[in-house]
Amino acid sequence: MADTLVRAAPVQATGPRRRTRTRPGPRSGIAYLLAAPSLAILLLGLGYPVYWQVITSLQEFGLAQQFGQPPEFIGLDNYARIFGEDDLWAVVVRSLLFCMVNALLTVGIGLALALLMRAVRPWVRIILQSCLLLAWAMPMVAAVTVWRWLFDWRTGVVNWLLVQVGFDGYAGHNWLAQPLSFFFVATVIIVWMSVPFVALSIFAGLTQVPDEVLEAARIDGAGAWQTLRHILVPMVRPVIAIVLLLQVIWDLRVFAQIRLLQDSGAPVSETNLLGNFIFELGIGRQDFAGAAAVSILVLVLTVLLSWPYVRSLMKELS
């Protein structure tokens, strides 16, 4: 839910350039005044933390510094120390894998549902859209809580259903105790939460494919599959590209869902993703320098990944 309406934004990327009427010249003093409060809060809430992290990641920040010693500049030692640990690399690989699997699954299922919406009667489509919206509207913490109840080892619906269809081994199966099935549950939750946005965005793109084009394809004898492959999918490719990019960015930063699922007693060190690793390092073990170094890695990755998205948004600004 945290991303509810941010998730409505990317489609703007495919939008038209709107001519903005701007007044040139002498009144720019007022413009600075108007932008000042936002600029101030951004510098305070985001700018200063980034600055602090860069500085801290280059300093010795141990117990002595906790008690007021001035920090010592040690260059890239923190980076060398943290990136020399196998722990971190295990987390990085796990995060990247998790991110890719989730992003691809989400966009794949989202595309399939968008095409399904296009193929069915309006009343069926409205039911499907409403159900997706309900899932989309769920606050993240409430969603994870419900899924924990569904996957509950004793009286959860999932185990009950599996036993009903013949998998007796799942009676009392604890999904969250093993890393692999833990990530399976996490993937189910994240895909469930993210698909509505992707499906509705791609569907919005599909509705823009002109009827004449589809008509022409039919007259030329194109079958359903050919129409799909050569007309529909290529025409919504820009939307697909943007939602895929956003999913990659968002799934790289999965933290809260993992943290909440770990509460059930999952093996923490084997289920941590990047965000959880930073949290544990910084707030758990008070290794602020190391946590700052890993945070910088996350920020750099995000900025690199965001670049195409931001560029496509900038096009809108004339």
Partner 1 sequence: MTAARTRRRVGRGALGALALLVAALWVFPVYWMVLSAVTPDAYLRTSTPSFLPTHFTTGNLEAVIGGSGFGTALRMSLAVTLVTVLAVLVFAFLAALAISRFEFRGRRSFVLAVLFVQMLPAEGLFIAQYKMLSTASLLNSVLGVSVLYTAAIVPFTIWMLRGFVASTPAELEEAAMVDGLSRFQAFLRITLPLLAPGLVASGVYAFLQAWNEFTVALVALPSESAQTLPLWLRTFLAASVNRGVNWAEVMAASSLLAVPVIIFFLAVQNRMTSGLVSGAVKG
Question: Environment class of residue 264 by beta-carbon count within 10 Å: exposed (0-12), middle (13-18) or buried (19+)?
Answer: middle
Q: Are the CB atoms for 305 and 242 separated by under 8 Å?
A: no
Q: What's the closest the beta carbon of residue 43 comes to partner 1, in angstroms?
A: 9
Q: What's the closest the beta carbon of residue 75 comes to partner 1, in angstroms?
A: 20
The amino acid sitting at 254 is V
Q: Which two tokens stand for residue 188?
A: 């189910």
Instruction: Output 184 or 309, the one with its CB closest to partner 1.
Output: 309
Instruction: Output 31 or 76, the one with its CB closest to partner 1.
Output: 31
Please provide the DSSP assignment of 90-119 as one string. HHHHHHHHHHHHHHHHHHHHHHHHHHHHHH
Instruction: Output 100 or 128, the one with its CB closest to partner 1.
Output: 128
Instruction: Output 183 or 276, the one with its CB closest to partner 1.
Output: 276
Q: What's the closest the beta carbon of residue 105 comes to partner 1, in angstroms?
A: 14
Phi, then psi, of 71 in degrees rounded to 5: -70, 155
Question: Angle at CA 185, nearest 5°, toward 181 and 188?
Answer: 135
CA 107 – CA 94 distance, rounded (Å): 20
Question: Angle at CA 314, nearest 5°, toward 244 and 27?
Answer: 155
Q: What's the closest the beta carbon of residue 58 comes to partner 1, in angstroms?
A: 14
Q: What's the closest the beta carbon of residue 74 comes to partner 1, in angstroms?
A: 18
CA 288 – CA 281 distance, rounded (Å): 7
Instruction: Output 32 or 67, the one with its CB closest to partner 1.
Output: 32
Instruction: Output 24 or 75, the one with its CB closest to partner 1.
Output: 24
Residue 9 DSSP code:
S
Q: Any bridge partners for residue 18, and if so which?
A: 317
Distance in Å from the first CA to the final CA of the chain: 31
Q: What's the closest the beta carbon of residue 25 comes to partner 1, in angstroms?
A: 7
